[in-house]
Structure formats: structure tokens, C-alpha cells
């Protein structure tokens, strides 16, 4: 008997009565993949699984594309395939051939499911496809949510199946998990976002030790201290767990003199700050205005710009905040509620500033327009109002570039360069980060509440061994 057996109850091609189908598949992994993919249509379009075992459920929680429900609303509601697994394989059928299969395969590899195994057999124009299920072994302690909502309502703490690294991946035993505003926004459904996966283990940032490696990764990485970024960016299982799995380049080696606490704070804020400062080239010899230097991203942006040879002017919202500013990276600090913040900035940069790192675009754009020089860049990663106004003609005459920053979708090489530079800057002592005492994993809801309440210290979870 073949070990590639899939049994499914499939609706007929034209929404007729369902009938039982039994298909066996040959292993075609030795053939050229391009020939395997040619002619096969798609996956999940108009179909969903209504009955499956626990192994299939865990697989699907990793497999569904994070934005798929926006593309195919029928995914949740259409009568679907009854699916079982056998021989370590999962089978799914697609009636509509409406999603590019090569794209799906690429996404599957990206999220660590290894090579895609397909069949060459069809039945009544319904393509059956199979994947090798990820190996399972043991469990791990984690925080997760299966629905969006308030932290104290939806976050759960308990045991879940342990993760295994796929090709080009590493498994990290997490010591510290960094909590960012983006993590809490995903959890509560900010801007109408929906559950990207059936289950989410939150948090993209962390630090720990490489425990295992997948195919194609240097075994010498095992035992190395690393900081992790992007663990829950287009992936379901982040760092609020004893183990996380990421592509090998997203586990960055930590120098001996850089603490795990600092490493766990470098991901989202550090990479965003790096992009804000360097997206438009080197800043040595330039003047950089950084708004909100008491915040996580802006504090790192100011330090990175200073480290790279720029003159940095930082702002805070209120005069009484000036005493809290770390001035080691700043030539001058300005309170935006002061008598004349434009004049204060112009006193340091009479010809205008070359770059602006902006945390509140809608609030500050008029000021920015008044202090930039010709060809300046305003790089912004946040705004108070969704549809801000700005002084079009003055900014046009100054040839100002407005750069919008969405960290999940920065180019891969941009993130890798940011990781290298952040690690080097930390090693050279150029980065100082305000970090609160880590909270235990069981207090994850409190950690989320702290981030949502705002504060000047980074929030971490301590993960038990």
C-alpha cells in the first residue's frame, strides 16, 4: 500500500452532490519542479476544510496565506472538503484554479513547510495536491490567540506542539520576547485587520540560542546566541513561546558584549529606524531631524544617525520631557510646545535639515515643511490622522520626498543590512535602549496592556527554559 493515500469527500464540479473519492499518489520529488508545477491550478480558492485531525489543523495554521481571507471571502463559508491525513501527508482539492500555484508553493517554502509535493492525477477537473506534513515531536509552552480582541480576553498560555525547522531555517530556544505596538494592533484587529492564521503565537522580536537547524543550514550555528526579527511577520508562530522557527538570516548572531535584553529590542523598532535614516543613502555630514526621541523607533533612529556621522536634532512633545532625553546622540533637543520650535531648529540648521524621521506626520508636517532644505526627505512611520493634509506647494518647490515606512514589507536585503548595522552599532556601544524588567510568560496580557498604554521602556517577556 502506498503511503501517499488521501481520502476526501468532494463536492462535484458544478455544486452537485458530494461523492467519495479515493486517490493514491506517487512521489514525484525526483522530477524537475517546474514540470511538477506546470498546468496545476491553485489552492484553497472557494474551498476550506470542515473536518480534519489535529495534525492537519496545525499544518493549516502555518499554511494559510495571511491575506488570503481578503482575496477569497468564500474560504470561511463555502461547503468544503472533508480531509484526512495518511502517511505524513495532507491533501487538499481546488475546483476553481484561481490562485497561482507557483506563488502558493513559494509562500509555503517561505513559512517553513519545506518542499511541495504534488500529484499528477485529477478527478473531474478537481486537482488534488499533497504536502509532506511537518515533523512533530514534543510540546512547548507558549502564548497564543485563536481570535482577536482584548489581551486579557483572547490571550492563552499553555502547551502547543513544538516546531521543527524546515530547509534554510533555524529553531531558536527563546529567552526573551519583545512586545511591540504592532503585535498588540494585530491582536486587537486594528484598522479592520482579520486573523491571518487560525492560531497566532504573537511577537516578531526576541533573543535566544539556536537549538536546531534545517536542511542547508550550517550545523555550527547550533548553540549560538542570536537575536530574532520577523518571527511573526507573514508567519503564524512568533517569539512568545519556548521555541520559534525563522529563516536562518532572521536569526542574527549576538556579540558577546551585547545582552539578550538589547537583542530582543532590535527587530521592529531597529529595522524601522534604520530604514527611516538610511533608505535614501548615507547621512554622514547631513543634519537629521528626529521627532519623538523618547519613543522606541525614534530613539534608535537618532542614535543610528549620530553613529553614521550626522548632526541630529531631536524633538519631544512637551518642554517638561526635555529632562528625560538622552542627549548623547543629539546636537540639540527641541520641545514642540515651546515658543517657536521652527526657530529653535533653524538656529541649529540655518540652511534647513536634510532628513526628517517622523512619528506623527499629520501633527508635524507643517513644521517639517518650514525647516527642510531643498531635496530633503521626510521618512514617516506613523500619523495621528489617517488622511493628513500637507502644504503641497511649499513642499513641491522644495522638491521634498515623502517616504512611507511599513516594516513588514521592507525589501529582504534592506532588512538584512539593517540587522548587520544594528548588530555592529550595538557592539560598538552606540545604542542605548530603555528596557523594563521582563515579565513572565504568564503575564503576557499585562505586557500587551503596558505597550498599549504607552511608556518609555521597552516591554519584554521572559520565556522559561
125: left (phi over 0), alpha (psi -120 to 50) or beta: left
Q: What's the pLDDT score for residue 197?
A: 87
Cα(30)–Cα(28) distance, rounded to whole angstroms?
A: 5
CA torsion angle 415 419 422 428 (round to 10): -150
Task: Please give the DSSP secondary-structure letter assigned to residue 241.
Answer: B
CA-wise closest residue to 52 among 73, 89, 81: 81
- Same CATH topology for 139-264+433-462 and 270-409: the answer is no
Cell of 92: 487538499
User: Residue 137: its pLDDT value, please?
Assistant: 60
Per-residue pLDDT of the chain (465 residues; tens, 9 = 90+): 222 222 233 333 233 333 332 222 222 223 332 222 222 222 322 223 223 344 444 444 444 433 333 322 222 222 223 333 333 434 443 444 443 344 334 433 443 333 333 333 333 333 333 333 444 468 899 999 999 999 999 999 999 999 999 999 999 999 999 999 999 999 999 998 988 888 999 999 999 999 999 999 999 999 999 999 999 999 999 999 999 999 999 999 999 999 999 999 999 999 999 999 999 999 999 999 999 999 999 999 999 999 999 999 999 999 999 999 999 999 999 999 999 999 999 999 999 999 999 999 999 999 999 999 999 999 999 999 999 999 999 999 999 999 999 999 999 999 999 999 999 999 999 999 999 999 999 999 999 999 999 989 999 999 998
Sequential DSSP letters for 273-334: HHHHHHTTS--TT-EEEES-TTSHHHHHHHHHHHHTT-EEEEEESSGGGGGG--GGG-SEEE
- For residue 429 the three cell numbers come to 556601544
Domain topology for 270-409: Rossmann fold (3.40.50)
- The CATH code that applies to domain 139-264+433-462 is 3.90.180.10
What are the sequence ranges of the domains in the chain? 5-132, 139-264+433-462, 270-409
Write the DSSP assignment of 403-447 as a string of letters. EE--GGGS-HHHHHHHHHHHHHHHHTT-----BPPPEEGGGHHHH
Cα 2 from Cα 399, distance rounded (Å): 66
DSSP state, 201? B
Give the bridge partners for 18, in sequence order: none
Give the bridge partners for 9, in sequence order: 20, 82
* Residue 19, phi then psi, degrees to nearest 5: -140, 155
- pTM for the model: 0.73
The pLDDT value recorded for residue 112 is 37
Alpha carbon distances (Å) from 339 to 327, 343, 346, 377? 21, 9, 14, 26
**Structure confidence at residue 138 (pLDDT):** 82
Rg (CA), the chain: 25
Amino acid at each position: 500500500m502506498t503511503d501517499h493515500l488521501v481520502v476526501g469527500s468532494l463536492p462535484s464540479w458544478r455544486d452537485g452532490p458530494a461523492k467519495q473519492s479515493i486517490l493514491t499518489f506517487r512521489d514525484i520529488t525526483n522530477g524537475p519542479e517546474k514540470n511538477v508545477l506546470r498546468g496545476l491550478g491553485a489552492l484553497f480558492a472557494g474551498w476550506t476544510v470542515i473536518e480534519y485531525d489535529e495534525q492537519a489543523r496545525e499544518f493549516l495554521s502555518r499554511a494559510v496565506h495571511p491575506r488570503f481571507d481578503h482575496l477569497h471571502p468564500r474560504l470561511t463559508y463555502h461547503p468544503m472538503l472533508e480531509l484526512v491525513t495518511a502517511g505524513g501527508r495532507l491533501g487538499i482539492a481546488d475546483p476553481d484554479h484561481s490562485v497561482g500555484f507557483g506563488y502558493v508553493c513559494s509562500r509555503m517554502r517561505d513559512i517553513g513547510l519545506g518542499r511541495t509535493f504534488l500529484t499528477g492525477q485529477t478527478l473531474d477537473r478537481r486537482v488534488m495536491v499533497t504536502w509532506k506534513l511537518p515533523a512533530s515531536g514534543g510540546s512547548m509552552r507558549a502564548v497564543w490567540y485563536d481570535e482577536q480582541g482584548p489581551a486579557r480576553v483572547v490571550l492563552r498560555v499553555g502547551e502547543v506542539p513544538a516546531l521543527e525547522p524546515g530547509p534554510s531555517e533555524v529553531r531558536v530556544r527563546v529567552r526573551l520576547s519583545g512586545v511591540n505596538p504592532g503585535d498588540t494592533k494585530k491582536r486587537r484587529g486594528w484598522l479592520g485587520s482579520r486573523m491571518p492564521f487560525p492560531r497566532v503565537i504573537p511577537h516578531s522580536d526576541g533573543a535566544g540560542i539556536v537549538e536546531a537547524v534545517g536542511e542547508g543550514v550550517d550545523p555550527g550555528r547550533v548553540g549560538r546566541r542570536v537575536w530574532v526579527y520577523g518571527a511573526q511577520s507573514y508567519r503564524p508562530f512568533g517569539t512568545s513561546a519556548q521555541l520559534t522557527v525563522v529563516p536562518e538570516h532572521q536569526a542574527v548572531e549576538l556579540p558577546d558584549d551585547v545582552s539578550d535584553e538589547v537583542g530582543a529590542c532590535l527587530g521592529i523598532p531597529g529595522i524601522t529606524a534604520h530604514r527611516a535614516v538610511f533608505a535614501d543613502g548615507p547621512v554622514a555630514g547631513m543634519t537629521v531631524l528626529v521627532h519623538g526621541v523618547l519613543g522606541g523607533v525614534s530613539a534608535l533612529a537618532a542614535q543610528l544617525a549620530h553613529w553614521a556621522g550626522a548632526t541630529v536634532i531631536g524633538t519631544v512633545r512637551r518642554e517638561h520631557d526635555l529632562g528625560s532625553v538622552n542627549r548623547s546622540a543629539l546636537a540639540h533637543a527641541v520641545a514642540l510646545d515651546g515658543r517657536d520650535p521652527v526657530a529653535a531648529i533653524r538656529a541649529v540648521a540655518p540652511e534647513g535639515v536634510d532628513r526628517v524621521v517622523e512619528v506623527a506626520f499629520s501633527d508635524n508636517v507643517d513644521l517639517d515643511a518650514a525647516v527642510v532644505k531643498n531635496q530633503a526627505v521626510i521618512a514617516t512611520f506613523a500619523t495621528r490622522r489617517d488622511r493628513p493634509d500637507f502644504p503641497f506647494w511649499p513642499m513641491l518647490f522644495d522638491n521634498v520626498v515623502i517616504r512611507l515606512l511599513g516594516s513588514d514589507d521592507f525589501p529582504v536585503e534592506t532588512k538584512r543590512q539593517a540587522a548587520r548595522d544594528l548588530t555592529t552599532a550595538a557592539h560598538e556601544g552606540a545604542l542605548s535602549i530603555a528596557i523594563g524588567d521582563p515579565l513572565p510568560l504568564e503575564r503576557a496580557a499585562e505586557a500587551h496592556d503596558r505597550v498599549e498604554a504607552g511608556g518609555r521602556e521597552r516591554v519584554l517577556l521572559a520565556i522559561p527554559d
